[in-house]
């Protein structure tokens, strides 16, 4: 491969989208799938629908989207909460700063989950909590306003009266 073709020999393959791994050390983007997560499964009927789950036996941390819409969330695991990938290797850690200005090691996951799926992120040796786990609840992913279909014009605009 010649120079200028956009490929660096020995570099890991880029994931789709506009994510630059070197700009976000310790941030893992899981846009429906990721090559290092444990897996993605359809949501089991009658199963636990809690959005964040940690299985004591398997040590797997799972994000569950029980809705009929694509959703997103952000999750941060700090200090001693180390999340390992499907190969048992820790996900790369970055750092975060707390309210008092102290830095601490952290891994943040940005997750986009398809409707009615369970995304098994990775292995976590201890239950999340104790001020070392932060997350926002699952939120519905909406289309960008510029990409949304046009809204029908109002009757005021059509009639020419105000």
**Given the structure tokens 């009658």, which residue do they identify?**
46
62-121 pLDDT, tens per residue? Answer: 999 999 999 999 999 999 899 999 999 999 999 888 788 889 999 999 999 999 999 999
φ, ψ for residue 15, nearest 5 deg: -80, 155
11-26 pLDDT, tens per residue? Answer: 455 555 555 556 678 9
CA 50 – CA 135 distance, rounded (Å): 13
CA 43 – CA 97 distance, rounded (Å): 35
φ, ψ for residue 148, nearest 5 deg: -75, 155
Residue 47 pLDDT class (50, 70, 90 cuts): confident
Count Cβ atoms below 10 Å from residue 19 Cβ, excluding itself: 14
Count Cβ atoms below 10 Å from residue 43 Cβ, excluding itself: 18
What is the reported pLDDT for 94?
Answer: 92
What is the reported pLDDT for 96?
Answer: 86
Distance of CA 93 to the CA centre of its chain: 15
DSSP state of 47: S
């Amino acid at each position: 491969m010649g120079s200028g073709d956009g490929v660096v020999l020995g570099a890991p393959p880029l994931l789709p989208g506009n994510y630059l791994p070197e700009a976000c050390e310790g941030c893992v983007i899981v846009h429906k799938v990721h090559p290092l997560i444990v897996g993605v499964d359809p949501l089991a009927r009658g199963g636990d629908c809690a959005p964040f789950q940690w299985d004591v036996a398997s040590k797997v941390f799972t994000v569950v989207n029980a809705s009929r819409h694509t959703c997103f969330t952000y999750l941060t695991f700090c200090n001693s909460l180390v999340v390992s990938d499907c190969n048992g290797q820790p996900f790369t850690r970055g750092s975060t700063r707390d309210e008092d200005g102290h830095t601490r090691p952290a891994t943040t996951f940005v997750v986009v989950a398809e409707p009615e799926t369970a995304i098994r992120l990775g292995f976590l040796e201890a239950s999340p909590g104790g001020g070392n786990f932060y997350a926002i609840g699952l939120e519905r992913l909406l289309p960008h306003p510029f990409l949304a279909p046009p809204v029908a014009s109002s009757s005021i605009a059509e009639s020419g009266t105000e």
